[in-house]
């Protein structure tokens, strides 16, 4: 029987054999750390002398234990790794304030507010030492920036093929599972048909060598091979955080805000700096996980419908943020009143409840491309609320209220991705700053 370790060794053999340039995306968390250790050990045994680029994007605001561990990793094994440690004002996701959807770590104009000093080690890239040809960074979204940096590294290495090793695991989320397994994944988006790869640029592929590992496998590997890991996990364990709930990420990100309050307990001195760094941190730490920020059971104030409550919340927002919400909400309302696809199980729930004002239009024309059976439905009016179990899929004013309470300006809560206009604005900003640099 093949273990996940055996499968990973086979994938590494393919990666080392097919790609002359390797980049490991290292975050400081348990998954990317285990992947990096496995790569270094494989290189030493099977490809002595082979060098690996290790890319770390530093978000400035993080636990001291994470800073210590990143420093240890990026300054060790220098006979194998070439560290690229980036400390730049990219647009990092921010869900702790209603005034913006991002913040800029390491922005020079905010130096007096920085949570910590710039690291002083080889491989650190900051605004004072930008290399030639480096991509635009100021205000560029972090995931977009990471892709552009990997292309820059590929070009700098003058490689024919570059593999960017990313430590995602299917167990972590449906989105990550779909990155490997979705039925409509095109052959030309993979390297030689390998489903654990994804092409991101010409000559550059992401590779996911530990995609099938479980959380328990991570800790078994650390124990069996004596690998180092971020000691923040020990502190989380002592604080009673369940094994599968332990995360190391930017504290202002949507997925991390519920654990923001841990900073106050684990690192009170650092907490004081976080409160002064980004507006809304203390409020979020107090109310994350409650209905005040769209978690748990959100109830209506007396005398309101969900629509009137949404309208009231919109009046409390800055004009530019309110306009972004209104545009997204209008799109959703148009989409569902013209007819859109809903998973069959939830269509059955609407039928069983005798929901008024719903027209059932049958299967969508692109049904074969969908991961689950769906049926087209059309609402006479955009619903205030709906009797279906999947609240996240419900096209309702209640969902719009929850989206606002969560400070989700991009409306991912409602299933939105970047619009064409947003994509074009991003491209224009990248081109503008590229000319400046």
Q: How far is C-alpha 278 from the chain's CA centre?
A: 19
Given a cut of 50, whether residue 426 has pLDDT beyond it is: no
Q: Which residue, of 215, 232, 252, is where some domain finishes?
A: 215
Q: Which residue has the higher pLDDT, 184 or 149?
A: 149
Q: Which residue has the higher pLDDT, 72 or 259?
A: 72
Q: Confidence band (pLDDT; 50, 70, 90) for 93? A: confident
Q: Confidence band (pLDDT; 50, 70, 90) for 434? A: very low
Q: Which residue, of 197, 215, 233, is where some domain finishes?
A: 215
Question: For the segment 307-339, what is each residue's pLDDT rounded down to a tens digit?
Answer: 999 899 888 888 888 888 888 899 889 888 888
Domain count, the chain: 2
* Together in a domain, 165 and 29: yes
CA distance to 152, 191, 337, 423, per residue, from 199 (Å): 15, 7, 37, 19
Q: What is the pLDDT of residue 321?
A: 81
* Together in a domain, 177 and 37: yes
* Together in a domain, 319 and 203: no
* Together in a domain, 210 and 311: no
* Together in a domain, 48 and 193: yes
Residue 145's CATH number: 3.40.50
Nearest-angstrom CA–CA distance, 132 and 300: 55
Is 220 contained in some domain? no
Q: What is the pLDDT of residue 62?
A: 86
Is 349 contained in some domain? yes
In this structure, what token pair is assigned to residue 406? 């969560």
For 260-297, give the secondary structure using H, E and C. Answer: CCHHHHHCHHHHHHHHHHCCCHHHHHHHCCCHHHCCCC
Q: Confidence band (pLDDT; 50, 70, 90) for 255? A: low
Q: Which residue, of 151, 186, 215, is where some domain finishes?
A: 215
Q: Is 151 exposed, middle or buried (0-12, 13-18, 19+ CB in 10 A)?
A: middle
Question: For the segment 280-289, what is each residue's pLDDT rounded down to a tens digit?
Answer: 555 554 445 5
Q: Confidence band (pLDDT; 50, 70, 90) for 424? A: very low
* Together in a domain, 171 and 58: yes
Given a cut of 90, whether residue 27 has pLDDT beyond it is: yes
Q: What percent of the chain has pLDDT over 70?
A: 82
Domain range for 53 is 4-215
Nearest-angstrom CA–CA distance, 285 and 408: 16
Question: For the segment 242-251, what is each residue's pLDDT rounded down to a tens digit?
Answer: 888 887 776 6
* Together in a domain, 30 and 174: yes
Quickly tell me which residue has 């004009």 as its tokens.
319
Q: Confidence band (pLDDT; 50, 70, 90) for 279? A: low
């Amino acid at each position: 029987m093949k273990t996940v370790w055996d499968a990973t060794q086979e994938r590494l053999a393919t990666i080392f054999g097919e790609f002359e340039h390797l980049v490991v995306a290292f975050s400081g968390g348990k998954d990317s750390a285990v992947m990096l250790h496995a790569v270094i050990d494989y290189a030493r045994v099977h490809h002595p002398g082979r060098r690996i680029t290790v890319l770390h994007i530093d978000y400035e605001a993080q636990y001291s234990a994470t800073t210590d561990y990143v420093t240890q990793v990026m300054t060790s094994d220098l006979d194998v790794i070439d560290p690229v440690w980036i400390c730049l004002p990219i647009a990092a996701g921010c869900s702790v304030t209603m005034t913006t959807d991002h913040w800029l770590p390491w922005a020079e104009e905010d130096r007096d507010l920085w949570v910590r000093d710039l690291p002083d080690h080889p491989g650190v890239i900051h605004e004072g030492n930008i290399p030639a040809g480096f991509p635009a960074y100021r205000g560029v979204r972090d995931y977009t920036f990471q892709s552009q940096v990997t292309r820059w590294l590929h070009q700098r290495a003058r490689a024919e093929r570059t593999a960017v090793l990313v430590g995602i695991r299917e167990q972590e989320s449906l989105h990550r599972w779909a990155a490997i397994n979705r039925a409509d994944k095109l052959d030309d988006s993979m390297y030689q048909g390998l489903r654990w790869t994804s092409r991101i640029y010409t000559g550059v592929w992401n590779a996911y060598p530990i995609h099938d590992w479980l959380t328990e496998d991570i800790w078994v590997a650390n124990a069996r091979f004596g690998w180092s890991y971020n000691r923040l996990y020990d502190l989380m364990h002592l604080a009673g955080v369940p094994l599968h709930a332990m995360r190391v990420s930017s504290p202002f990100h949507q997925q991390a805000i519920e654990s923001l309050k841990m900073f106050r307990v684990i690192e009170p001195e650092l907490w004081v700096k976080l409160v002064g760094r980004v507006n809304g941190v203390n409020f979020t730490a107090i109310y994350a996980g409650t209905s005040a920020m769209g978690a748990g059971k959100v109830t209506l104030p007396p005398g309101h419908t969900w629509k009137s409550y949404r309208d009231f919340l919109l009046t409390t927002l800055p004009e530019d943020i309110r306009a972004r919400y209104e545009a997204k909400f209008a799109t959703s309302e148009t989409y569902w009143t013209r007819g859109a696809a809903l998973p069959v199980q939830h269509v059955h729930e609407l039928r069983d409840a005798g929901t008024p004002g719903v027209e059932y239009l049958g299967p969508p024309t692109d049904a074969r491309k969908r991961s689950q059976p769906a049926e087209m439905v059309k609402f006479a009016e955009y619903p205030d609320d709906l009797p279906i179990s999947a609240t996240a899929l419900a096209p309702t004013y209640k969902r719009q209220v929850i989206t606002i309470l969560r400070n989700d300006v991009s409306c991912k809560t409602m299933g939105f991705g970047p619009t064409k206009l947003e994509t074009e604005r991003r491209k224009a900003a990248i081109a503008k700053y590229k000319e400046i640099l």
